Amino acid sequence: MAKKPSAPRDERGRSPAYGPGAHPRTAGDFRPSREELLTYIEENPDRSGKRDLAKAFSLKGADRVWLKDTLADLHDEGLIEKDKRRLKRPGTLPHVAVLDIFSRDGDGNLLARPAERDGGEAPVLVLIKTAKTGRGRAPGVGDRVLAKTFRNDGPGPAYTARVMKVFEKRAETELGVFRTLGSGGFRIVPVERGRPEFEVAQEFRNGAKDGDLVEIETGRSTRYGLPQAKVVSVLGSLTSEKAVSMIAIHAHGIPHVFPSEVIAEADAAQPASMDGREDWRELPLLTIDPADAKDHDDAVHAAPDDDPANPGGIVATVAIADVAAYVRPGTALDREALNRGNSVYFPDRVVPMLPERISNDLCSLKEGVDRPALAVRMIFAADGRKIRHSFHRVMMRSVAKLAYPQAQAAIDGATDEKTAPLLDPVLKPLWDGYAVLKRGRDKRQPLDLDLPERKILLKPDGTVDRVIVPERLDAHKLIEEFMIQANVAAAETLEAKRQKLVYRVHDSPSLVKQESLREFLQSIGISLARGAELRTQQFNHILDRVRDGEHEGLVNEVVLRTQSQAVYSPDNLGHFGLNLRRYAHFTSPIRRYADLIVHRALISALSLGKDGLTAGEEARLDDISELISTTERRAMAAERQTVDRLIAAHLVEQVNGEFDGRVSGVTKAGLFVQLPQFGTDGFVPVATLEDDYYIFDETTRALVGQQTGKGYQLADAVLVKLVEVAPLAGALRFEMLSEPKPMPGAKRSFHKAKARQKRGRATMSRGPRGRR
């Protein structure tokens, strides 16, 4: 009898983890490690769907559920991405890819990147094997090509590629600053990091002047010359007051000019009538907002509950601008609002979701002016427990428009002409109502992170004057808690009425992130029991333990990074951070489309009018939720990048200056250092840490020196020197001046990190002395 062939073995004689010859698996046994899953996905880009993975690793039954959860965790951590039905590692390419050639390296070789990209991938080095391609010409800068890709394990770009085909020329535009040279030539300085400068011929300048922000169409270049470009449009001068935010607006494609039909609809809108509304104009509702607010979409009121059965209880009222009365489904106003998704707030301007006629006029709850509103009246017991609530479509008249410091000062005893007559009848009952709501909040224990927000104050010319951390007042907390309770009431009402809606969901941290947190806490001497899923109370207990201690900032940062990202969804997952079972955005329909959807849903569910949610909108809630989640992320990125550019421009004159900073991020490539006084980050490349070989230790969030056991850790206070500023990109580069500190358990961390390196979880990084 012929001998049965043995299962294939690897070079060390081991049975493979997956594929032919893999050991049969039983539920829970021989599950692939995270590293094995990541390796398979990277090595098999054409067979990387969930079914492919289950088949490759022989996973069945309960193991498939485990696989689904593990892949979700890897996705949340940014270790894998979805590409249609397949999964891929970020920055990886399929064996055959469409590439855009965008530049040349110092040796004249062509550089390309994926045609479909998020902007963060490493460049791909395109090696031309023959002088001509099948299309009769060699590819050049500006071409789109079909190429076969190969992993590059050596220095340089992550991939090499062999061109298979050059596609027809495709126009591509990007942003840059037009510069006039002393020699009479013209250049484009790109806005995007890592892009080359372009040369512009006189006939292609399109009227651009020195310092103009322009949109250019890139062209091909000769082997050693600068790539060519022509100016498509002039967007404005960088010397204008709002030029910095204009870069982000165009770079992110944020709609900022309302179409004429939208303006026409807004201008034609008339104030809402009393038809079908309750008259609440005698109720002393008031608005409390930032001093520079132009639109006021929420008003509040509180009074003791006169029901003898509810001693010490209160009646809290929140009235929200009735945007649904003006922005009807299917109109040009509605389409543009959905397209924008939300307002975008830059330090130097606001890009509103709705035209000013709606946002700053008809829907703004102005003092002493009749305005339509959707209001909720909530009854709370003395212990902060909500007893019941009801929604009403009303006409209201704000008794006063107050700023946060103004309202707080009145409560603290410093009244002015406006607040003095409001103190006893309106403000004191409002603060008494907040005291009741706070008792409920304290019992609920939402996540209590201490992460101060910064605000940039600008000079009249649009440059930075200073950066401040506004004081967190009880007035802020009062409005926040009233809004949270109104949002909860909206979600509860719609669920009770079985009305579809868009929830604001914040999922609990993945089990992988929770386990990573446990490992980190153990590294600083804090134990956390394994097993049960963490709740907000446990997070708060951790934060309380480190409060006012040396690890307070570090632990707050790590706990923040453990959290999932909040999104919009028609499916309820609860809100982990607020520790709420159901939550929806109801209180800001002037600036968030999600709130407008919730308003329409309430109008439909409670029969409050004919301008509620349509059947077509209900059918598209999945798409709407995904769109407005995307526009929210777009706005956050644009706002953050604008702040970075403003601060970078502010620091141009301080190159070689020394700054106190704090390590805000640690990667194998180096350290991100935040300047607390400015709220912005710069980078310290690991290659500039010349005194040791540094290992990225994932557990301790640190770079640890191999020889000394000393290193730099997340949240460390450090001294850095500013050595380079790129204002257009908003980038800062620092040199580390602080000596590395002794790392507790450094030897153990080093050996663990080195072991993870072999499994693909960490990478050895070396300073210049040991790199070559």
The answer to whether residues 594 and 504 touch, using CB atoms and an 8 Å cutoff, is: yes
The answer to whether residues 470 and 551 touch, using CB atoms and an 8 Å cutoff, is: no
- What residues pair up with 386 in beta bridges, in sequence order? 380
DSSP string, 610-668: SSS--HHHHHTHHHHHHHHHHHHHHHHHHHHHHHHHHHHHHTGGGTT-EEEEEEEEEET
Higher-confidence residue of 232 and 582: namely 582
* Residues above pLDDT 90, as percent of the chain: 48
pTM of the entire predicted model: 0.73
Most confidently predicted of 226-240, 362-376, 464-478, 625-639? 362-376
pLDDT at 137: 63
Higher-confidence residue of 451 and 215: namely 215
The answer to whether residues 121 and 157 touch, using CB atoms and an 8 Å cutoff, is: no
Stretch 233-259: mean pLDDT? 83
Stretch 148-173: mean pLDDT? 71
The answer to whether residues 262 and 377 touch, using CB atoms and an 8 Å cutoff, is: no
Put residue 56 in one of left, alpha, beta given phi > 0 → left and psi -120 to 50 → alpha.
alpha
What is the Cα–Cα distance from 15 to 9, expressed in whole angstroms? Answer: 5
Phi and psi at 504, nearest 5°, equal -100, 110
Confidence of residue 221 (pLDDT cuts 50, 70, 90): low
pLDDT at 590: 97
Q: Is the pLDDT reported for residue 614 higher than 80?
A: yes
What is residue 579's three-state secondary structure? coil
Phi and psi at 753, nearest 5°, equal -65, -40
Of 124, 121, 169, the closest CA to residue 143 belongs to 169
- Least confident range of 32-41, 558-567, 725-734: 32-41
Q: Is the pLDDT reported for residue 16 higher than 80?
A: no
Higher-confidence residue of 506 and 86: namely 506
Q: Which residues of 649-667 are buried (b: 16+ CB within 10 A; e: fewer)?
A: bbbeeeeeeebebbbbebe
Q: Is the pLDDT reported for residue 2 higher than 50?
A: no
- Least confident range of 114-123, 148-157, 297-306: 114-123
Confidence of residue 763 (pLDDT cuts 50, 70, 90): very low
Query: How many CB atoms are located within 10 Å of the residue 237 CB?
Result: 16
Stretch 623-652: mean pLDDT? 92
Q: Is the pLDDT reported for residue 8 higher than 50?
A: no
DSSP 202: G
What is the Cα–Cα distance from 87 to 109, expressed in whole angstroms? Answer: 31
Tokens 């996973």, residue located:
59
Q: Which residues of 694-705 are buried (b: 16+ CB within 10 A; e: fewer)?
A: bbbbbbbbbbbb
Confidence of residue 739 (pLDDT cuts 50, 70, 90): very high
Q: Please calculate the CA angle 463-468-471 and round it to the nearest 5 degrees.
A: 150
What is the Cα–Cα distance from 756 to 697, expressed in whole angstroms? Answer: 9
pLDDT at 642: 92
Higher-confidence residue of 137 and 390: namely 390
Confidence of residue 153 (pLDDT cuts 50, 70, 90): confident
Confidence of residue 15 (pLDDT cuts 50, 70, 90): very low
- CA atoms 272, 276, 280, 286: torsion sign: negative
Q: Which residues of 294-326 are buried (b: 16+ CB within 10 A; e: fewer)?
A: ebbbbbbbbbebeeeebeebbbbbbbbbbbbbb
Total number of residues shown for the chain: 772
CA dihedral 366, 372, 373, 377 (to 10 degrees): 100
Q: What is the pLDDT of residues 650-672, one digit of tens each?
A: 999 999 999 999 898 899 999 99
User: In the numeric block, which tokens belong to residue 639?
Assistant: 């706002």
Confidence of residue 134 (pLDDT cuts 50, 70, 90): very low
Helices (H), 214-361: 243-251, 260-268, 332-340, 356
Angle of helix 593-605 relative to helix 621-650, nearest 10 degrees, comes to 150
Pairing relationship of beta strands 731-736 and 741-742 according to DSSP bridges = unpaired
Higher-confidence residue of 713 and 399: namely 399
Our separate counts of H helices and E strands in the chain read: 18, 35
Tokens 């632990």, residue located:
555
Q: What is the pLDDT of residues 423-448, one digit of tens each?
A: 999 999 999 999 999 999 999 999 98
Q: What is the CB-side half-sphere exposure of residue 118 using CA atoms within 13 A?
A: 12
Stretch 562-587: mean pLDDT? 95
DSSP 508: P
The answer to whether residues 418 and 406 touch, using CB atoms and an 8 Å cutoff, is: yes
pLDDT at 557: 81
pLDDT at 29: 52
Q: What is the pLDDT of residues 294-339, one digit of tens each?
A: 889 999 999 999 999 999 999 999 999 999 999 999 999 999 999 9
pLDDT at 191: 84
Confidence of residue 54 (pLDDT cuts 50, 70, 90): confident
Of 133, 329, 194, 253, the closest CA to residue 731 belongs to 194
Confidence of residue 91 (pLDDT cuts 50, 70, 90): low
The answer to whether residues 375 and 294 touch, using CB atoms and an 8 Å cutoff, is: no
pLDDT at 24: 42
- Least confident range of 164-173, 291-300, 614-623: 164-173
Of 473, 212, 249, the closest CA to residue 349 belongs to 249
Q: Is the pLDDT reported for residue 535 higher than 80?
A: yes
Tokens 């390196």, residue located:
757
Higher-confidence residue of 395 and 63: namely 395
What is the Cα–Cα distance from 592 to 353, expressed in whole angstroms? Answer: 7
Stretch 528-532: mean pLDDT? 70
> Mean pLDDT score of the chain, rounded to an integer?
84
Beginning with the edge strand found earlier in the chain, give each strand of the sheet holding 693-697 in spatial order. 741-742, 710-713, 702-705, 693-697, 764-766
Stretch 559-578: mean pLDDT? 93
For the chain, report the end-to-end CA distance as a whole number of angstroms.
57
DSSP string, 134-168: TTSS---TT-EEEEEEEE--SSSSSEEEEEEEEPP
Q: What is the pLDDT of residues 181-208, one digit of tens each?
A: 988 899 998 887 767 889 999 988 988 9
DSSP 570: S
Most confidently predicted of 174-188, 220-234, 413-427? 413-427
DSSP 688: G
The answer to whether residues 326 and 401 touch, using CB atoms and an 8 Å cutoff, is: no
pLDDT at 53: 85
What is the Cα–Cα distance from 529 to 593, expressed in whole angstroms? Answer: 41
What is residue 455's three-state secondary structure? strand
User: In the numeric block, which tokens belong to residue 481?
Assistant: 């808690």
Stretch 728-754: mean pLDDT? 76
Q: Is the pLDDT reported for residue 360 higher than 90?
A: yes
User: In the numeric block, which tokens belong to residue 675?
Assistant: 């300047």
Confidence of residue 344 (pLDDT cuts 50, 70, 90): very high
Query: How many CB atoms are located within 10 Å of the residue 347 CB?
Result: 19
Tokens 């007035």, residue located:
475
Stretch 233-247: mean pLDDT? 79
What is the Cα–Cα distance from 639 to 454, expressed in whole angstroms? Answer: 13
